[in-house]
């Protein structure tokens, strides 16, 4: 039965949708968290323009993402449910940006057969591998400010790359239009987050190497736009204040961090790659890319062989793209990349590994003997993508997300709505102190990371027991309640109207 190509394709797509479905469905139960509230009350206190200036001077030069976190933050306007819409939209946009880049790279540049449907499902497979292995899916998929700081700049980099490729190899009448449009996502990538800033370096270098000579003026345009944007961001006094706060000179490695920068960066990368779920997911991306490249070559759709210098350029760009993030954090914080940054590092690694695997598969010499062996193995190899997707249900975040969706998502939403209703009521009545119960849930890790269910989460999203704690303080300032406490003995709140 599985020898039927149409049935096999249908099962593959169904399994892929089932692997991704819980992550998208969990957005319907999403709640704002920490910086979502902070940026909301900062804008309330400083005003739309004032908060941009204040953050630029005191904390960050990320002027693009800062604008989105404040002015376009639904929490700033009291629409707490807006984070649900934002998370769902970002999930779809991330999928679309991956598909757009894959189709542009394969169809427009490499002239390989790649329909929009094929690009869509290939991007879905990469996204499923990522969602299953992401170090901390909450801070990438559901936390509004995490989405803005990490997802949006990455989408900017992916979209810039696709538009830049179209500006070089796409239809001639639209090349300059694509070149001008590429400047917008480039600014977002360069100024939205320092991680995508350093990742943009190898991308621009590879483009400068590979673009046709006629496209050089377009490259100059992007470099000028990028230089202007980075200059503005780098001039922010807040950048240096944040750098000092994240890596104080009192750190034992701070004084001689240059001497150990490369080896410690390599060490961080190795530790990241040897995590079983990360290593296996990266291997899966490589195998799928290699398999697709070989399949296309076997059917006569092979690209021209690359010269040795082209291979060197590709491998250098691949290595730099996936190493610079570790180098950045070893310098800035004298430590491994922040867990929320590792999410973005992993997605870039999976995408670039799959692309490199495809390229290797296309370039592998096909002798008559190997061609015959491949034809014999072809029926079994056709099951490879399906088996790979089915394996996602055995370990990683896919089964955790389904469990969370079935057991905790609805109670979490109800309890948070009741908590917000109680905070609003306390503000209206002028209650000096409000004591709330902690979240009482059967499970939480993907959308609802709680330390009672896991010891390796990045954030515990619940209130701190007692009257102190960062989240308690954020609730006090946002809802304008003098003292917000949490006690395990507090009675459950009535359901919100």
* 396-424: pLDDT as tens digits: 999 999 999 999 999 999 999 999 999 99
Q: 227, 235 in Cβ contact below 8 A?
A: no
Q: 377 and 481 in one domain?
A: no
Say yes or no to pLDDT of 297 above 50: yes
C-alpha 87/C-alpha 184 separation (Å) is: 22
* Residue where the block lists tokens 């309890």: 415
Q: 315 and 444 in one domain?
A: no
Q: What average pLDDT does range 384-404 have in this prediction?
A: 92
Q: 412 and 280 in one domain?
A: no
pLDDT more than 70, % of the chain: 95
Q: 200 and 183 in one domain?
A: yes
Domain-located, residue 11: no
Burial of 275 (0-12, 13-18, 19+ CB in 10 A): middle
Say yes or no to pLDDT of 203 above 60: yes
pLDDT of 377: 46
Q: 412 and 317 in one domain?
A: no
pLDDT of 368: 37
Domain-located, residue 1: no
Say yes or no to pLDDT of 378 above 60: no
- The chain-wide mean pLDDT, for the chain, equals 92
User: Which is more confidently placed, 454 or 410?
Assistant: 410
Neighbours of 452 (CB within 10 A): 12
Q: What average pLDDT does range 56-63 have in this prediction?
A: 95
Cβ contacts of 365 within 8 Å, gap of 6 or more:
none
Domain-located, residue 146: yes
Strands 483-486 and 433-436 come out as parallel
Q: 248 and 139 in one domain?
A: yes
Pick from 196, 328, 352, 326: nearest CA to 269: 326
Q: 438 and 371 in one domain?
A: no
Say yes or no to pLDDT of 255 above 90: no
Structure tokens at 397: 């975040």
Domain-located, residue 85: yes
C-alpha 96/C-alpha 103 separation (Å) is: 10
Q: What 8-state DSSP symbol labels residue 465?
A: S
Q: Decide which of 379, 401, 423 is a domain's last residue.
A: 401
pLDDT more than 90, % of the chain: 79
pLDDT of 367: 38
SS3 258: coil
pLDDT of 379: 52
Q: Decide which of 401, 436, 461 is a domain's last residue.
A: 401
Q: 477 and 379 in one domain?
A: no
Q: What average pLDDT does range 25-31 have in this prediction?
A: 98
Q: 281 and 392 in one domain?
A: yes
Q: 71, 48 in Cβ contact below 8 A?
A: yes
Domain-located, residue 3: no
Q: 383 and 264 in one domain?
A: yes
Domain-located, residue 155: yes
Q: What average pLDDT does range 364-389 have in this prediction?
A: 59
pLDDT of 376: 46
Q: Decide which of 345, 368, 401 is a domain's last residue.
A: 401
Q: What 8-state DSSP symbol labels residue 466?
A: B
Band (pLDDT 50/70/90 cuts) for residue 380 is low
Domain-located, residue 114: yes
Band (pLDDT 50/70/90 cuts) for residue 475 is very high
Band (pLDDT 50/70/90 cuts) for residue 116 is very high
Look at the chain and report how many structural domains it folds into.
Answer: 2
pLDDT of 388: 85
Q: 410, 465 in Cβ contact below 8 A?
A: no
Q: 273, 337 in Cβ contact below 8 A?
A: no
Quote the domain boundaries for residue 143: 19-401
Q: 359 and 423 in one domain?
A: no
Band (pLDDT 50/70/90 cuts) for residue 267 is very high
Domain-located, residue 187: yes
Band (pLDDT 50/70/90 cuts) for residue 114 is confident
Q: 458 and 368 in one domain?
A: no
């Amino acid at each position: 039965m599985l020898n039927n190509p149409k049935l096999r394709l249908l099962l593959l797509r169904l399994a892929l949708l089932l692997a991704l479905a819980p992550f998208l469905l969990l957005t319907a139960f999403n709640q704002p968290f920490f910086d979502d509230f902070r940026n909301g009350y900062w804008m309330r206190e400083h005003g739309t323009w004032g908060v941009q200036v204040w953050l630029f001077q005191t904390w960050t030069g990320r002027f693009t993402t800062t604008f989105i976190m404040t002015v376009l933050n639904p929490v700033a306007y009291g629409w707490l449910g807006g984070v649900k819409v934002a998370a769902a939209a970002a999930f779809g946009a991330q999928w679309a940006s991956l598909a757009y880049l894959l189709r542009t790279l394969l169809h427009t540049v490499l002239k390989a057969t790649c329909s929009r449907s094929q690009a869509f499902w290939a991007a879905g497979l990469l996204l499923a591998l990522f969602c299953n292995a992401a170090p901390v899916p909450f801070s990438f998929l559901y936390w509004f400010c995490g989405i803005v700081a990490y997802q949006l700049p990455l989408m900017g980099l992916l979209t810039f790359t696709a538009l830049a490729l179209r500006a070089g190899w796409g239809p001639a009448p639209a090349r300059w239009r694509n070149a001008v449009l590429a400047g917008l996502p480039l600014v977002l990538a360069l100024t939205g987050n320092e991680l995508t800033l350093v990742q943009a370096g190898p991308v621009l270098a590879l483009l400068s190497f590979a673009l046709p000579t006629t496209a050089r003026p377009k490259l100059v345009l992007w470099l000028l736009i990028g230089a202007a944007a980075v200059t503005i961001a780098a001039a922010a006094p807040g950048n240096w204040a944040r750098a000092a706060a994240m890596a104080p000179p009192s750190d034992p490695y701070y004084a001689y961090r240059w001497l150990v920068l490369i080896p410690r960066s390599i060490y961080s990368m190795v530790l990241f790659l040897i995590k079983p779920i990360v290593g296996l997911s990266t291997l899966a991306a490589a195998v799928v890319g290699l398999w697709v490249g070989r399949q296309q070559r076997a059917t006569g759709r092979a690209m021209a062989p690359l010269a040795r210098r082209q291979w060197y350029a590709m491998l250098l760009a691949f290595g730099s793209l996936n190493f610079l993030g570790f180098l950045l954090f070893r310098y800035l914080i004298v430590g491994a990349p922040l867990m929320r940054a590792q999410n973005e590092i992993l997605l870039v690694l999976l995408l670039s590994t799959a692309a490199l695997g495809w390229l290797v598969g296309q370039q592998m010499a096909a002798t008559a003997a190997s061609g015959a062996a491949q034809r014999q193995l072809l029926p079994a190899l056709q099951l490879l993508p399906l088996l790979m997707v089915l394996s996602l249900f055995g370990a990683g975040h896919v089964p955790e997300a389904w469990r969370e969706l079935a057991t905790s998502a609805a109670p979490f939403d109800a309890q948070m709505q009741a908590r917000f209703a109680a905070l609003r009521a306390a503000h209206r009545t002028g209650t000096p102190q409000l004591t709330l119960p902690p979240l009482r849930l059967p499970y939480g890790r993907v959308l609802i990371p709680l330390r009672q269910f896991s010891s390796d989460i990045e954030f515990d999203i619940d209130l701190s027991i007692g009257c102190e704690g960062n989240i308690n303080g954020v609730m006090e300032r946002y809802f304008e309640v003098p003292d917000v406490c949490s006690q395990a003995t507090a009675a459950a709140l009535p359901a919100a109207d």
